[in-house]
A and B are shown apart, each in its own frame.
Chain A
Amino acid sequence: MWVKVEPRQEASRRVIYATPVLAVGLTVLSGYFLFLFLGLAPAKTLYHFLISPTLTFYGWSELCVKAGPLVLIASGLAIGFRANVWNIGAEGQLTLGAVGAGGVALAFWGESGLWILPLMCLAGILGGMLYAAIPAFLKTRYEVSEILTSLMLTYVATLALGILVYGPWRDPMGFNFPQTRMFSDSALLPLILDGTRMHLGILVTLAVAVAAWMMMARTVIGFQIKVVGLAPAAARFAGFSRNRTVWFSLLLSGGLAGLAGTFEIAGPIGQLVPHLTPGYGFTAIIVAFLGRLHPLGIIASGFLMAISYNGGEIAQVEDRLPQAATGVFQGMLLFYLLACDFLSRYRIRLAATRREASPS
């Protein structure tokens, strides 16, 4: 007996929309048994995990804070992924963006002015773009895989940030602890609503996601990117330059990651510290794929990830859910989403012979 995996003729629209719902359902079901097995009250834990984060206005504001950087980074990455440009190093570009923006904030520390924040954003975007330019150059000039270079440059970025916050940028009043001064008010993003941590960057993020959608759906560049990704030969024939697409995708995703870093330090963090994010640059890759590389899908998947993080924290506090179980629950969600996705596009058939099972 052999197993054959073959593509379905065409996945129906209904199936495409149903798979995320099915995946969430399967996760809830498995989570129920996981929590039961751990000796917790499963319904209550699930409630805290999935519902509690969305019950209060404050809860929603925190989901925005958490989802913001994920959506911003994923919007940029998704465009590159469409063109088969695999920027895995958004975490590093975010870090260098934060270094650029933080440098501006520290250079004008104690001064006030409306121009400081825009200058920081500009420096942040440039920082991320410059850092993404390295893999772009190596790819277009020497055909070095951008997957490797962008990923490995992430670790370099973290160390570079470390040199600064352990060294020249250290807070002079901070007992030699590795952090900069807290930024002055002019270098901090204004809050949209008092009593929350929702800052202006979140609105910018939503605008960027919508702009990314418009670009991919309505512009020639968007079309070029899709063609280069789907049919490289056709793209060459049409005169679309692969190298230009590589540069464009990497600079765009790097710049957006740098902007996300700027928003993090000018928003919830308020200073430069050795560890800026819990891996937003990497999580954003998952968010991009969960959102099916579609900007609006990315907003939804960004919030879903945010719920799983914030809900995991609440379940830890309220139900003593071990942190590792939070990770298992998140893992199940991703697993089911990808599995359902796969099965909506392929079907598995039993084949009588090996010849029949092997791809023709």
Chain B
Amino acid sequence: MTITVTRRTFLAGSAAAAGTAVLGRPGRALAADPLAVAFVYTGPIGDHGYTFAHDVGRRAVEAHFGDKVKVTFVENVPEGPDCERVIRQLATSGNQLIFSTSFGFMEATLKVAKQFPKLKFEHATGFKRADNLAIYNARFYEGRAVLGDIAGRMSKAGVAGYVASFPIPEVVMGINAFTLAAQKHNPNFKTKVIWANTWYDPGKESDAAKALIDKGADILCQHTDSAAPLQVAESRGVYAFGQAQDMSAYAPKAHLTAVVDQWEGYYIDRVQKALDGKWTSTDIWWGFKEGLVGLAPYNAAMPADVKASADKLKADITSGAVHPFTGPIKNQKGEVVYADGKKASDEDMLKMNWYVQGVES
């Protein structure tokens, strides 16, 4: 069926739409209006890491819902007094669902959420929730355990270098999960950590990577967002893992795989719920099972049995047969923190501030 829209019929139609809107249900008066969704990023969308991955999710929302949504984003927002203004700006300019994607935005998001009780907010990687403020995070440590499994087999020296950002539980958890999994293959496996004190600074990250290789690491893992450590690994001829997405383009030989953040499904689900009027404040921590965490394709240099072992661990974590934090686990002093067979609870992990034996930081 073809409808020819003249200016007159268009105006008549608009008037009719406006009329129904006025008479319509009060909650969703302008049913035809797109849902305005906004994203606040701490890094540049071109970081090819964490923020990039969120932005892939943002674009998936746009592609999936088309003109049912109007999506805005603000990048490179500093964590501090500025982010409150940015979030409020988004709230006052008509956005109904706002995702703030960095831990440092927590207090600001909470403050603005209180002032705009009718709007919906979601904060990633934090712990403060409200009726109109949902929180969400990914079980990245599950992916990092698989990286550890691979590192335990691929490292000849038994020493990994870990370029880390800040010693928050999220990062500490990843270092521990990585180290524990590697020690399943090589009980003497060590992880040397350098804190770059930044999420994104290619210069500092590559300095840290060089220093770690000089200290004897022959495989690199990173919890910072640029591809710089991978490029160092490529030029120095050691293996490495990407961050947040498949970074093999930067280091075709060094890049073994990467933990891939797949926010697309989550964002589409939440926007759908908001469109349907079914959005509620939830506390989500999804991993392999829900598809929020994934792995990039393996490097061809990995022997078949290493690939098989990694695949098996991933399948076991997905099914729940294996928990990356299962005792016996000792801390750096050699004290037993989790006895044989005991598993760490979610709460334990979310406040983790100690390192397992074998981590040198």
Query: Contact residues of A with B, CB < 8 Å?
Result: 62, 65-66, 158-159, 162, 166, 174-178, 182, 197, 264, 267-271, 273-278, 309-310, 313-314, 316-318, 320, 322-324
Contacts and interface: CB of A to CB of B under 8 A. Distances in A.
Given A66-B82, A267-B81, A314-B89, 8 more contacts: A66-B85, A175-B127, A176-B169, A269-B80, A276-B80, A313-B85, A317-B72, A324-B44
B166 A320 contact: no
B24 interface: no
Contacts of A177: 103, 126-127, 168-169
Contacts of A166: 166-167
Closest 7 CB pairs of A and B: A268-B81, A278-B78, A323-B76, A176-B353, A175-B351, A176-B351, A316-B74
A187 B44 CA distance: 35
A264 B93 contact: no
Interface string B91-135: 001000000000110010000000000000000001100000000
Contact-residue size bin, chain B (C-beta under 8 Å from the other chain)? 20 to 34
Contacts of B89: 313-314, 317
11 contacts: A65-B85, A166-B167, A269-B80, A275-B78, A276-B80, A278-B78, A313-B89, A316-B75, A317-B90, A318-B93, A323-B74
B332 interface: no
B18 interface: no
Contacts of A175: 127, 169, 350-351
B30 interface: no
Contacts of A271: 107
Contact of A275 (B80, B127, B167, B169): B80
Interface in B165-184: 166-169
B84 interface: yes
A166 B90 CA distance: 31
Interface of B: 38, 44, 72-82, 84-86, 89-90, 93, 103-104, 107, 126-127, 166-169, 197, 350-353
A257 B353 CA distance: 33
Nearest to A269: B81
Given A175-B351, A314-B89, A320-B72, A278 B167 contact: no
A297 B127 CA distance: 44
Contacts of A174: 127
Contacts of A318: 93
B75 A323 contact: yes
A270 B103 contact: no
A309 B85 CA distance: 11
B197 A162 contact: yes
A275 B199 CA distance: 12
A197 B84 contact: yes
A310 B44 CA distance: 18
B168 A178 contact: yes
B127 A273 contact: no
Contacts of B85: 62, 65-66, 310, 313
Nearest to A274: B166
A182 B89 CA distance: 23
Contact of A317 (B76, B93, B352): B93
Contacts of B81: 65, 264, 267-269, 277
A107 B89 CA distance: 35
Given A175-B351, A176-B353, A317 B80 contact: no
A273 B169 contact: no
Contacts of A320: 72-73
A65 B108 CA distance: 15
Given A176-B352, A273-B104, A278-B82, A313 B74 contact: yes
Contacts of A317: 38, 72, 74, 86, 89-90, 93
A23 B51 CA distance: 35
A182 B110 CA distance: 13
A310 B88 CA distance: 12
A136 B38 CA distance: 48
Contacts of B126: 177
Contacts of B352: 176
B80 A273 contact: yes
B79 A275 contact: yes
A309 B107 CA distance: 21
Contacts of A309: 82
Contacts of A158: 197
A349 to B, nearest CB: 42
A84 to B, nearest CB: 32
Nearest to B347: A175
Contacts of A267: 81
Contacts of B44: 323-324
Contacts of A268: 81, 84
A152 to B, nearest CB: 16
B117 to A, nearest CB: 15
B351 A322 contact: no
Q: Which of B76, B86, B89 is the most central at the interface, judged by chain A CB atoms within 10 Å of its CB? A: B89
Contacts of A316: 74-75
B107 to A, nearest CB: 7
B146 to A, nearest CB: 25
- Which residue among A197, A271, A316 has the maximum number of chain B CB atoms within 10 Å of its CB? A316
B104 A275 contact: yes
A277 B82 CA distance: 9
A275 B107 CA distance: 14
A175 B90 CA distance: 28
Contacts of A159: 197
Contacts of A65: 81, 85
B127 A277 contact: no
A273 B79 contact: yes
Contacts of B76: 323
B229 to A, nearest CB: 22
Contacts of B38: 317
